[in-house]
Structures are given as C-alpha cells and as structure tokens.
C-alpha cells in the first residue's frame, strides 16, 4: 500500500495510506492528521490544508494552479514547495511522499 508521511513542525511523523481518487487533504482528514483542517471542503478557498512538499517530490506531485497560487500568496508561512493539499489528486506513484505541516494554518 502506498503511504504518505506528514511531518509536524516539531518533527512528529504521521503515516497515512494513499488512496487514488482522493485529494491529499481528504487523506489527511480521514486519518485525523493534526494540522490539516480542510475547512472549505477542498475549494481552494480557506488555506487550512497547506503543506510543504519535500523538494525531492515537487516535480512528481506537480505545480500549484493559478487558483492555488492566489490562496498561497496570502500565507505568511508559504515556502517554495508549498501546496494546498486539497488541490493534490493522489497518485499511487506518490508512495514514500513526505510533506511538512506548517506550525500554523491560515
Ligand atoms: Fe480549503 Fe484546501 S481545504 S483550501
């Protein structure tokens, strides 16, 4: 089974099974990963699903959309590989993906 690892700002790791057909935000919420709220339900309108993708994976998971960029641009914790996890459609090829969780969500 493909697995993603979420890493909290203080280094705690949470593994979750990747399920194709879901967004990475849905994976996190289903597994009760702390720090991913997904308040808008995946509409790229709240920013509470912000993750920072391991740079080694950024090409594999793809770039953010213009809509995503608009929301991320308002986030003071934004990093070069930041994504909104609700806009990341899970692929089985992401087995081993690691994403960092910001200390605070918007
Ligand atoms: Fe709201 Fe991703 S869940 S922006």
> What's the rounded Cα separation, in Å, for the pair 35 and 50?
9
Q: How confident is the model at residue 104 (pLDDT cuts 50, 70, 90)?
A: confident
Q: How confident is the model at residue 88 (pLDDT cuts 50, 70, 90)?
A: very high
pLDDT at 106 over 80: no
- Give residues (CB < 6 A) around ligand 1: 25, 38-40, 42-49, 71, 84, 86
- 18, 66 contact by CB (below 8 A): no
Q: Could you report the per-residue pLDDT of 31-78, keeping only the tens digit for each?
A: 999 999 999 999 999 999 999 999 999 999 999 999 999 999 999 999
Which DSSP state fits 23? B
**Rounded to two decimals, what is the model's pTM?**
0.95
> What's the rounded Cα separation, in Å, for the pair 47 and 38?
8
> What's the rounded Cα separation, in Å, for the pair 82 and 99?
9
Choice from 39, 51, 72 to test ligand 1 binding pocket (greatest atom count within 8 A of CB): 39
> What's the rounded Cα separation, in Å, for the pair 43 and 52?
18
């Amino acid at each position: 089974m493909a697995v993603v690892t979420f890493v909290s700002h203080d280094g705690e790791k949470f593994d979750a099974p990747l399920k194709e057909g879901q967004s990475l935000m849905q994976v996190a919420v289903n597994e009760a990963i702390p720090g991913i709220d997904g308040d808008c339900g995946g509409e790229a309108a709240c920013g509470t699903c912000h993750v920072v993708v391991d740079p080694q994976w950024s090409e594999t998971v793809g770039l953010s959309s213009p809509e995503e960029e608009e929301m991320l641009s308002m986030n003071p914790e934004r990093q070069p590989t930041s994504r909104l996890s609700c806009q990341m459609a899970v692929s089985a090829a992401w087995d081993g993906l690691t994403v960092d969780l910001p200390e605070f969500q918007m």
